[in-house]
């Protein structure tokens, strides 16, 4: 049997721009689970009735509110410990982290989802370790799901650890063809095609954003098309842009989608709130494989950003 090329290598060769591929999350729950447990969480056929009920309730919540959530599985620092959860909630320019520690075994992982995402009142039964400042880089190393993630993700994870960056080996969260791919919290950025060197540089913000622009999948706090405008403004303003609260309004336009981005004032008091507007249109699609183990190709949208306008306060209040 002929081995297929890695899907990530084909994406790079095709010149895919990954912007607009980050999921839109209002909050993220990270379950700290030993690597062998990851497969059990992914095996829906083996779920208990209680675990099935949790996912049914989560589907209902998303359908009712439209607010998506992220679910990540990361290997704990010390294997074999009790169930521990990191919960990130969208606030300000990114997400706020809160840790929860239980006395239950990791097999009770569904409790972590239920209590953080469905019934937060139950969190009173969890211990709350002190808040941990600084970035968390969640790198997909799930090679049993896709070889690209194991091949590219593990060297990136090791480089981050060696550099003293807090990094987590993380199970698949979508986007095999972007390996090495990572979720950068609390900033809420998703990255694509990271090399070990670039991963350390973006984690430490040691390179100008434009040097990493073609590796940015987007800011998970915004809808995908708004991520296109958000990246443009990040390149203009630098890494301090990530500290500003951003929310978006999307409306149909004759040639695409009009994105209006409402931006809070800088935290250091150096400026005022602002509103930006631009139209995002379709660029020629690519047709790429989504898995290193499947020859099937599918349509991959690409985007163009039209002229960006900064609205005056009166025009911003008048709506899109």
Give the CA distances from residue 242 to residues 46, 152, 237, in Å, rounded to whole numbers and listed in that order: 40, 26, 9
2 pLDDT band (50/70/90 cuts)?
low
Please tell me the predicted confidence (pLDDT) of residue 1: 43
Collapsed DSSP state (helix, strand, coil) of residue 45: helix
267 pLDDT band (50/70/90 cuts)?
confident
Q: Any idea what the CATH number is for the domain that residue 160 is in? A: 3.40.30.10
Is 140 within the bounds of a domain?
Answer: yes
Is 240 within the bounds of a domain?
Answer: no
Is 210 within the bounds of a domain?
Answer: yes
Torsion sign across C-alpha atoms 156, 161, 162, 164: positive
DSSP for 252-267, written as a single string: EETTEEEEEEEEPPPT
Burial of 181 (0-12, 13-18, 19+ CB in 10 A): buried
Please tell me the predicted confidence (pLDDT) of residue 174: 84
Is 274 within the bounds of a domain?
Answer: no
Domain membership of residue 21 as a residue range: 1-224
Domain count, the chain: 1
Is 148 within the bounds of a domain?
Answer: yes
Is 306 within the bounds of a domain?
Answer: no
Contact between residue 278 and residue 259 where contact means Cβ atoms under 8 Å apart: yes
CA separation for the pair 106, 10 (Å, rounded): 37
Predicted structure pTM score = 0.94
Q: Mean pLDDT across the stretch 98-107?
A: 96
């Amino acid at each position: 049997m002929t081995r297929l090329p890695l899907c990530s290598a084909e994406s790079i060769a095709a010149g895919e721009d990954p912007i607009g591929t980050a999921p839109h999350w209002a909050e993220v729950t990270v379950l700290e689970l030993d690597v062998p447990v990851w497969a059990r969480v992914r095996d829906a056929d083996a779920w208990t009735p209680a675990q099935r009920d949790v996912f049914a309730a989560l589907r209902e919540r998303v359908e009712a509110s439209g607010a998506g959530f992220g679910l990540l599985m990361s290997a704990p620092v010390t294997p074999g410990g009790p169930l521990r959860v990191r919960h990130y909630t969208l606030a300000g320019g990114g997400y706020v982290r809160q840790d929860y520690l239980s006395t239950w075994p990791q097999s009770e992982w569904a409790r972590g989802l239920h209590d953080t995402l469905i019934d937060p009142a139950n969190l009173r039964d969890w211990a709350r370790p002190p808040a941990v400042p600084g970035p968390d880089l969640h790198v997909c190393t799930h090679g049993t799901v896709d070889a690209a993630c194991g091949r590219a993700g593990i060297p990136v994870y090791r480089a981050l650890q060696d550099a003293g960056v807090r990094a987590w080996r993380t199970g698949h969260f979508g986007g095999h063809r972007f390996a090495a791919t990572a979720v950068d919290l609390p900033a809420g950025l998703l990255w694509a095609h990271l090399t070990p060197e670039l991963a350390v540089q973006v984690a430490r913000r040691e390179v100008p954003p434009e040097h990493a622009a073609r590796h940015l999948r987007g800011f998970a706090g915004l809808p995908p098309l708004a991520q296109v405008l958000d990246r443009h403004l990040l390149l203009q303003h630098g890494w301090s842009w990530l500290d500003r609260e951003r929310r978006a309004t999307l409306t149909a336009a004759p040639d695409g989608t009009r994105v209006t981005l409402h931006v809070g004032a800088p935290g250091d008091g150096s400026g005022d709130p602002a509103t930006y507007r631009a139209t995002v249109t379709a660029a020629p699609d690519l047709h790429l494989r989504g898995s290193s183990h499947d020859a099937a190709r599918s349509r991959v949208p690409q985007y163009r950003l039209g002229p960006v306008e900064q609205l005056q306060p009166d025009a911003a209040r008048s709506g899109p």
